[in-house]
């Protein structure tokens, strides 16, 4: 208790410290609840767990808005008691995914940069009734020092009638000063976002809130539910090598500076492998402008190769988190967390010319990318920030293994079964087979390069056969397709369990 009293710096607020159960009792059926959290980092834990317990006894549902995916104490606990009616803007939880795909949960899969603005305008089913925000501390003036993520917390606090703050004493107080909170004005009053370099500070180190808006304060000591990464596999290693070779070529040809441009890297094992690949490269003075800061970035800092990383969430593995906490005073000099509206801002991405690197579920022979839907129908996670970056980057790269499910699925297909990133957004596709550079190519040229460089040998002849027949049948149309056949590979997999003929 002493620790939380120290962290709630205005003693007048001490009277608002209550149990998680008491705070959770404030939440009523069908309320719009906006929380902090982006990946399993910086999300509230104690109040959602108490809420889930209450829902178990007296079933009801809420609409849940977060920054992105969150940990098991929030999405996991609420999904288990069927407590979520609507969800936005991104998730990765297994139970929630099942409920999204059986019609139980209405899921609004959004570009992450846009979600705060949509919430501020009240487009997401009305205004936010209550914001629940994890904090490191609350200042004298009632402003909130966030923890390991920023996400949409600042906008939810701004918009909500009522704020519940979870002060997490497991989060080191040294996180204070690592945030840069800037909420843009809404159109028609918006001004340019003044970020011109990843290390530009443009806002406050706290979420403006004020003493009156805070209704309850809850103590929590549950740690972020961060997950371990798998070993870097052979495919990820090869993909990382191909992309680093490309960067060398680009520097040589004068299209990239020697220290590249700010790097954006998606989540997961391939992304982490690619960032780690830079450690063994001869690139130095790198910068990062991204969503999620993972272990690879600590490797780069330790190797003296990273000058600065800006993100919206610190989401390393459990060992990465220990490493960060043990050396937080040094790492914090090179790291900054911003609201996702700024970290993922299309305006900033286009201005500073980021290199976007994200993972695809499948790519088609013309360069369209599906990041979200399995066999065109089932939601996997969501588009996340991939669209914010893909359309606006200087160089847009997508990675995928050339096959999935032990080779029964080709990740290079005649036509994507769902499209998140169009051919117009995609510059580079890389699989463990090779790299396709699509810049400046027409669709028919792209098809040959993608099939030749990226497809698995088991599927290459089938893809080339499809393309040649489509080209002939359409008399060399701009984007040749055989409409009756274009999605037949997916149909075959659903019916027979393999895309192979």
Binding region for ligand COA (CB under 6 A) out of 35-43, 220-228, 246-254, 381-389:
381-389
Tokens representing residue 498 in the block: 């393999």
Element (H, E) at 97: helix 94-101
Residue that is written with structure tokens 């969503």 in the block = 291
Nearest approach in angstroms of CB 294 to ligand COA is 11
CA–CA gap between residue 158 and residue 318 (Å, rounded): 32
In terms of CB distance, is 151 or 384 closer to ligand COA?
384
Tokens of 238: 């090869």
Q: 209, 32, 207, 214: which is closest to 115 by C-alpha?
A: 32
154 vs 263, beta carbon nearer ligand COA: 263
The SS3 of residue 54 is helix
User: Residue 110 Cβ, how far from ligand COA at the closest point, in Å?
Assistant: 12
Give the total residue count for the chain. 501
Nearer to ligand COA, 71 or 266 (CB): 266
268 binds ligand COA (CB under 6 A): yes
- Closer to ligand COA at the Cβ: 113 or 453? 113
CB of 194: closest distance to ligand COA in angstroms?
Answer: 23
Q: What is the DSSP letter of 161?
A: S
- The pair of structure tokens assigned to 253 is 């040809």
User: 171 or 402, CB closer to ligand COA?
Assistant: 402
The whole-angstrom separation of Cα 452 and Cα 450 is 6
Q: Does 310 bind ligand COA (CB under 6 A)?
A: no
Site string for ligand COA, 8-27 (x = CB under 6 A): --------------------
472 interacts with ligand COA by CB under 6 A: no
DSSP conformational letter for 222:
P
Least separation in angstroms between residue 412's CB and ligand COA is 9
Taking the complex as a whole, the smallest distance from the CB of residue 388 to ligand COA amounts, in Å, to 8
Is-cis flag, bond preceding 487, omega within 30?
A: no
Report the distance separating Cα 190 and Cα 128, nearest Å. 22
- Choosing from 55, 132, 267, 321, the residue that interacts with ligand COA (CB under 6 A) is 267
Q: How far apart are CA 441 and CA 447, in angstroms?
A: 9
Supply the minimum distance, in Å, between the C-beta of residue 472 and ligand COA: 27
Q: Which of 73, 134, 291, 362 is catalytic?
A: 291
What letter would DSSP give residue 357? E
User: Of 163 and 263, which has the nearer Cβ to ligand COA?
Assistant: 263
386 interacts with ligand COA by CB under 6 A? yes
Subset of 86-115 contacting ligand COA (CB under 6 A): none
Q: Are 499 and 405 a contacting pair, CB within 8 Å?
A: no
Residue 42 interacts with ligand COA (CB under 6 A): yes or no = no
Positions 411 through 440 that interact with ligand COA (CB under 6 A): 411
Does 405 sit near ligand COA (CB under 6 A)? yes
Distance, CA of 326 to CA of 314 (rounded, Å): 14
We find the least distance from the C-beta atom of residue 63 to ligand COA, in angstroms, to be 22
Structure tokens at 453: 């460089």
Among 95, 176, 295, 362, binds ligand COA (CB under 6 A): 362
Asked if 330 is an active-site residue, the reply is: no
User: Is 409 near ligand COA (CB under 6 A)?
Assistant: yes
Residue from the set 99, 115, 294, 358 that interacts with ligand COA by CB under 6 A: 358
CA 225 to each of CA 50, 291, 318: distance values in angstroms, whole numbers, following the listed order: 17, 18, 8
Output 279 or 379, the one with its CB closest to ligand COA. 379
N- to C-terminal Cα distance for the chain? 65
Minimum distance from residue 453 beta carbon to ligand COA (Å): 17
270 binds ligand COA (CB under 6 A): yes
Give CA–CA dist 29/10, Å, rounded.
32
Both tokens of residue 40? Answer: 């399993």
In the set 48, 142, 198, 266, which binds ligand COA (CB under 6 A)?
A: 266
Quickly list DSSP for 72-137.
IIIIIHHHHTT-EEEEES----HHHHHHHHTTSSEE----HHHHHHHHHHTTTTS--SEEEEEESE
Q: How buried is 291 (Cβ within 10 angstroms: 0-12 exposed, 13-18 middle, 19+ buried)?
A: buried
Q: How many residues bind ligand COA (CB under 6 A)?
A: 23
Residues with a known catalytic role: 291
- Positions touching ligand COA (CB under 6 A) are 266-270, 291, 358-362, 371, 374, 380-381, 383-386, 404-405, 409, 411
């Amino acid at each position: 208790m002493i620790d939380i009293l120290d962290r709630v710096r205005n003693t007048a607020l001490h009277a608002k410290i209550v149990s998680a159960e008491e705070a959770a009792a404030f939440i009523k059926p069908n309320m719009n609840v906006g929380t902090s959290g982006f990946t399993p980092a910086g999300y509230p834990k104690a109040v959602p767990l108490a809420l889930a317990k209450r829902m178990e006894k007296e079933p009801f549902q809420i609409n849940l808005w977060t920054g992105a995916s969150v940990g098991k104490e929030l999405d996991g606990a609420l999904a288990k008691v069927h407590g979520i009616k609507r969800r936005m803007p991104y998730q990765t939880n297994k139970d929630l995914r099942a409920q999204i795909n059986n019609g139980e949960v209405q899921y609004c899969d959004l570009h992450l940069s846009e979600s705060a603005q949509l919430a501020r305008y009240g487009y997401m089913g009305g205004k936010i009734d209550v914001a629940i925000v994890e904090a490191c501390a609350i200042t004298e003036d009632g402003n909130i020092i966030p923890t390991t993520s920023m996400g949409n917390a600042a906008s939810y606090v701004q918009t909500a009638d009522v704020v519940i703050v979870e002060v997490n004493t497991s989060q080191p107080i040294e996180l204070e000063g690592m945030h840069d909170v800037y909420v843009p004005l809404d159109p028609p009053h918006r001004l340019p976002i003044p970020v011109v370099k990843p290390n530009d500070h443009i806002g406050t180190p706290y979420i403006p809130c004020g003493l009156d808006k805070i209704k309850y304060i809850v103590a929590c000591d549950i740690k972020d539910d961060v997950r371990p990464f798998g070993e870097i596999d052979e495919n990820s290693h090869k993909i990382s090598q191909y992309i680093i070779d490309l960067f060398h070529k680009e520097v040589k040809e004068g299209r990239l500076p020697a220290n590249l441009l700010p790097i954006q890297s998606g989540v997961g094992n391939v992304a982490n492998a690619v960032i780690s690949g830079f450690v063994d490269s001869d690139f130095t003075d790198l910068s990062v402008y991204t969503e999620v800061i993972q272990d690879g970035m600590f490797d780069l800092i330790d190797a003296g190769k990273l000058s600065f990383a800006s993100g919206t969430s610190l989401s390393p593995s459990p060992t990465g988190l220990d490493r960060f906490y043990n050396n937080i005073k040094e790492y914090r000099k090179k790291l900054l967390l911003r609201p996702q509206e700024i970290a993922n801002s299309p305006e900033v991405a286009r201005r500073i010319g980021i290199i976007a690197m994200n993972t695809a579920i499948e790519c088609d022979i013309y360069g369209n990318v599906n990041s979200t839907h399995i066999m065109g129908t089932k939601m996997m996670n969501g588009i996340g920030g991939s669209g914010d970056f893909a359309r606006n980057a200087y160089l847009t790269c997508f990675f995928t293994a050339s096959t999935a499910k032990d080779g029964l699925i080709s990740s290079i297909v005649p036509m994507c079964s769902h499209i998140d990133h169009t051919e117009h957004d995609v510059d580079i596709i890389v699989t463990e087979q090779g790299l396709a550079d699509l810049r400046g190519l027409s669709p028919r040229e792209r098809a040959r390069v993608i099939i030749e460089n990226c497809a698995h040998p088991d599927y290459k002849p089938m893809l080339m056969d499809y393309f040649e027949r489509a080209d002939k049948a359409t008399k060399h149309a701009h984007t040749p397709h055989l409409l009756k056949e274009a999605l037949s590979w997916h149909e075959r997999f659903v019916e027979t369990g393999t895309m192979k003929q």
